[in-house]
Amino acid sequence: MTTRRERTGPLLLAAAPVLAVLLTVLLAGCADPGGAAGPPTAPRPTAAAPAAPAASTPSTPSDGQPAGATPAQEGALQPTSAGTLLVADFGADTVTFVDPARGAIGSVRVGTAPYAVAVGADGRAWASTAEGVAEVDTRARALVRTVALRTDTGPAGTGEYRGGGMGLALSPDGARLYVGVNVPGRSGVLEVVDTAKGEVTGVAPVGRRPFDVDVSADGREIYATGHDSFDVTVVAANGLATRRIQVAPYGTEGGLGSWLKPHYAAVRPGDGKLLLPFEGERLAVVDPATGQVSIEPMTADTHQHGAAVAPDGRLLVVGSGPVTRDDRGPSLTVRNPDGSERVHPLGVPHENVVISADGRTAYVTGGFTRDGYWDGITLVDLDSGATHRLEAGRRPLGVAVL
């Protein structure tokens, strides 16, 4: 397989219709040649973004899926109503409740451009927005309050480069919420929210555009993934100590204009190492204790975003689509602890993923941070690869199981 560091040709529109749409979507990509303060200066698509596929409409896998890829079996999956989902509607100002058997069943207004959601054992949910952090009573389906950010991120905006809350995670005991905050034009911060008081109690510096925030199993450390700074910042739970680990398996050439940046991470059960997928080619395994980064091969060969890990150690990774002519289409990779992978084509871009409580179904959001998103969720049976699509809010990004 030709690696991305060996590809020297320019980005091209593929001849196949599906890849043409996807590459038009991705030409602006995660790269930000103009700087993090505003949208990228790369060409934007002139055609409208693809329409959201209707529920139960068969999906068309992209051409040239990798060996071992399993075909989508739209409609073959029989979803159940177990485990209501909550999604962040990045294209609206709401979070939406989704029944896996019926689709959207209600929404709550939470603030501009919600990005991520986290749910506690007490039934409270939290959503990061451009204006702060919203607390939602999931039983009453009502907004409780909005916690203002301590850091000034400018006027509330929309789109991938907006300021405000991005990745977030709860401490194991639910007492603290950790929110990655994008500050346009400079490095981000991690804000610590006391969930009982509903107020920010601490701020720590992290990398640029903290796409994702994760917490160690013992709650002693927080990990903020800096998309535009090629790093993970390790923050002590008390916020008093931080250290930066560079995670750049392709190097940092291109800086803000590079495609090859980290997006989301997952904490591996057992050893607590961080797993960060890159481009369906390389998995960066980060030891937060030593800062050592090792690289393992991956097989999906597609631009990758969301990641989640199951209690049994399986890693799920969302592939959003091609960057160069040799890339594969959108997919969901299921990676076993022994490194073997099964790649499920998804047909259209997706962003994030969460796993059902029984470990049998993946819920993959269609929001996508770039143009090309659609307003729904794809359910993937992790045994058979069968898929089913549901309408779910507007440009859903973050997702959690209630």
Query: Tens digit of pLDDT for each residue in 42-77?
Result: 332 222 333 333 333 333 333 334 444 444 455 556
Which residues are CB-neighbours of 297 under 8 A, at least 6 positions away?
Answer: 281, 282, 283, 339
Dihedral sign of CA atoms 243, 249, 250, 251 in order: positive
pLDDT, residue 311, reads 87
Mean pLDDT of 174-179: 97
pLDDT, residue 371, reads 81
Has residue 9 got a pLDDT over 60? no
Using only C-alpha atoms, what is the Rg of the chain?
19
Residue 106: C-alpha distances to residues 48, 87, 102, 141 (Å):
28, 11, 11, 8
Coil/strand/helix, residue 140: coil
pLDDT, residue 11, reads 33
- The percent helix, strand, coil of the chain (3-state, each to 5) is 5, 40, 55
What pLDDT digit, counting tens, does each position of 257-312 carry?
898 999 999 999 999 999 999 999 999 999 999 999 999 999 999 999 999 999 89
Record the tokens describing residue 13, joined without a space: 């529109």
Report the predicted TM-score, pTM, of the whole model to 2 decimal places: 0.86
Record the tokens describing residue 261, joined without a space: 């940046």
pLDDT, residue 38, reads 39
Which residues are CB-neighbours of 284 under 8 A, at least 6 positions away?
Answer: 247, 249, 262, 274, 275, 276, 277, 278, 293, 294, 295
DSSP 43: P
Which residues are CB-neighbours of 51 under 8 A, at least 6 positions away?
Answer: 374
Range of weakest confidence among 67-76, 92-101, 213-222, 263-272: 67-76
pLDDT band at residue 221, thresholds of 50, 70 and 90? very high
Which residues are CB-neighbours of 101 under 8 A, at least 6 positions away?
Answer: 79, 80, 81
Q: What is the CATH code for 14-36+46-401?
A: 2.130.10.10
Phi then psi for 154, rounded to 5 degrees?
Answer: 85, -175
Q: Are 184 and 134 a contacting pair, CB within 8 Å? A: no
Has residue 366 got a pLDDT over 90? yes
